[in-house]
Amino acid sequence: MKPCVFTGNCVALATPMYEDGSINLEGLTALIEFVLSGGVDAILVCGTTGEASTLTPKEREAVIRRAVCVAGGRVPVLVGTGSNDTAHAIEQSQVAQELGADALLLVTPYYNKTSQEGLVRHFTAIADAVHLPVILYNVPSRTGVNIQPATYRRLADHPRIVATKEANGDLSALTVTRNLCGEDLWIYSGNDDQIVPFFSLGGIGVISVLANIRPALVTSICSLCLSGEISAAGRLQVQVQPLVSALFSDVNPIPVKYALNRMGFAAGPCRLPLVSPAPVVQERLDALLFQGGEDKT
């Protein structure tokens, strides 16, 4: 059985920025404390939601340092270090390791799309170059590459590849992967609308965008699942579905940064090429965020 990095709710943190686009580390501190107060079980920085593809190496280091410092060992800090350049991914992974990361999240190579054999060699080379646990990230809607269940079985043989964040939306493939890998590869949901289905099929947690703005709610869903109360968790999953849908009505993290700003956090703008959400998206989010005057909950 592989060790797991966390069970339950890991927030995929947005990266707060000032209006000029520079990193707002004080805003990052406030956001981390907020999600910790909501009971998150882990924190991910420099992921898709954190706009990692637009961060410079120095900015990445600053974000990682601050997250590790603020978390202070209270929860594991995961760092997204994937790239479509294996050598660059190794370099980023080693830097994150030196800065105190507890685990790495590696997205599949994008644009220069590789084969299943290429995926095995890519991830193996990175895992061989570090001593931290590695979580794979399969999100074919963004990368154009899908990790097949048989490929997961091969990757699960590596002692440091311990889990995957699965966001391909294919529950049938998930069952095949579970059968092939068992406890050699833990599975996290990469989709906020599939938290409960993943748990019911053997998943152990979620890496969540929703947890930026509703950390306690996502923690409750995960806690209910972990205690076997699937029906109660399912009711919460259904209840929050309109908000989840709104958060993905434009390219992530556009809606979630808008929501954070409206809730009073200094999330700031997204970096180009991402722009502010359309008025119809703003209105939809406002209606869902502030039902009954709710704020920062």
Task: Using pLDDT thresholds of 50, 70 and 90, give the confidence band for residue 1.
Answer: confident
Q: Give me the active site residues, please.
A: 137, 165
Distance of CA 175 to the CA centre of its chain: 21
Torsion angles phi and psi, residue 230, rounded to 5: -65, -40
Range 131-147 average pLDDT? 97
- Map out the domains of the chain with their CATH numbers: 8-229 (3.20.20.70)
Res 21: pLDDT: 93
Res 162: pLDDT: 98
Do 26 and 35 meet the contact criterion of CB atoms below 8 Å apart?
A: no
Range 107-136 average pLDDT? 97
* Torsion 205-206-210-213 (CA) sign: positive
d(CA 149, CA 171): 12
* pLDDT single digits (tens) 285-296: 999 998 743 434
d(CA 24, CA 6): 27
Task: Using pLDDT thresholds of 50, 70 and 90, give the confidence band for residue 258.
Answer: very high
* pLDDT single digits (tens) 204-244: 999 999 999 999 999 999 999 999 999 999 999 999 999 99
